[in-house]
Structure 1
Amino acid sequence: MAAKPRYQQIADILRGPILGGALPPGTRLPSRVQLSRRYAVSEQVSRHALRLLVAEGLAESRPGSGYYVRATRADHLLPRTGSGPGSALAPLLVERRGTRSEAAARGLAVRLRVRAGETLYRTECLGHARGAPIALHVSWEPAALTLNTSGAPGAAPALSVSDRLAGVGVFVDRIEEEVSVRALRGPEADRLGLPSGSAALVVRRTHFDGRRPVETSDLIASADHCRLGYRFEAPRRAP
């Protein structure tokens, strides 16, 4: 097996103490010049090693100062097994940004199995922690279903999706969810006050009544601040 490139070997040497805690967050890492002298490599090799740690989220570059161990800040757990009111952003402080109607774009029409252009109600909320927004929740429902519920524009929903729709004879019996990681897009980054391109956790959840989708939503959370929690019940075995 071919030996690793030198920049990867140097990154390995630095990575161990970072992950092990010997180099805590905020510790200044050796400079490119120091690494090149210590390991008899060019400054370009040293630069590649440090940039690799940045790309892995273990280090950060501070212009004019150097490279530092990056703090791991994903300290907000978003539980995904709850179904009560506000569960999508719990336990964050929720700022409701309102509901409005919009025509279903093609992608949303496919998710909700409606015609493109059909009227949807779009609701947007921000989740805050320590005074800053770190998660965005956007949901869509066919207006024909939501019109007479507390999810209509101007209303302040106090019930879960399942309970609210049950009031108009729509009974949620299944929830499907997909999780992915991608870069924050411009409008999302603006709402969260983060640089465009930052890593984001994206949770796509859809509520069904039988085979019919009745609500779909996107939870877009800063990967630097949030993590997702799931709970599964295991079947009990007889003694």
Structure 2
Amino acid sequence: MGARTKILLITFAFLFFFFFGINSVYAQSPDLQKQVDELKERIASKVAELNLVEKKAILGTVKDVSDSQMTLSTLNEEIRFIDIDELTKFSSGTIDNFGISDIKQDMTIGVIGLFNKDSRRTQARLVYEEQKLPTIIYGAVYAIDAENFNITVAKENGAKNIVEIETITKTSSFEDGSLVKAGFSKIKEGQTIIAIGVLDIANKNKIVASRVLLFPEIAVSSKINLDKNIPTIPASTGSGVKVQPIIK
């Protein structure tokens, strides 16, 4: 018997027992295909579930809170629904043993969690207390109250905000291409101004400034009206509607 014949016989025998063995397994396990199909379905379902959920970080102001959920309003004034469960962790730099019971309306809260694209809800995995978000006001100095160290800033939308200047407020003036240190006495009516601070809890039309930037060499925006004969329009409360003054 030649070498080639031996190789063919060995190969045939191997293939015969290989396929015979597989057929025996299938013959002894009639439910194997069913199990394979169920496994495929579970894998496909898990993949679809993973595609539906994504990690997301959210920062916003608390509008409503309960033991199991929160409603936040983001910087873009979008409403986000946050679910809380036993796996949710809490963190705060100012409150010991910070938890859901410490969260109140109007607090600034950050959330890291799993956002469900279908339900549009976020399952929180970490909830942390943030410092108050800064408010930035751009406009022109409308009036100065030297006695109380307050100024009124007129904005492009016709609204006006009171800016309180404190001893900790850093005031600078942009002159000749450089920022120079300034004080309250440098603030003049009609100047372009940017004030950065936090809202006064008692008066949402007022901010306590941490930083004031004056731009005496930059003309006031043509959209800002400094005519004191026009009634003051209340500052926006976040409704998104901008009211313009009526000029006759």
More strand by share: 2
Higher relative contact order (CA 8 A, sep 6+): 1
Using the size of structure 1 for normalisation, the TM-score is 0.26
TM-score relative to the length of structure 2: 0.25
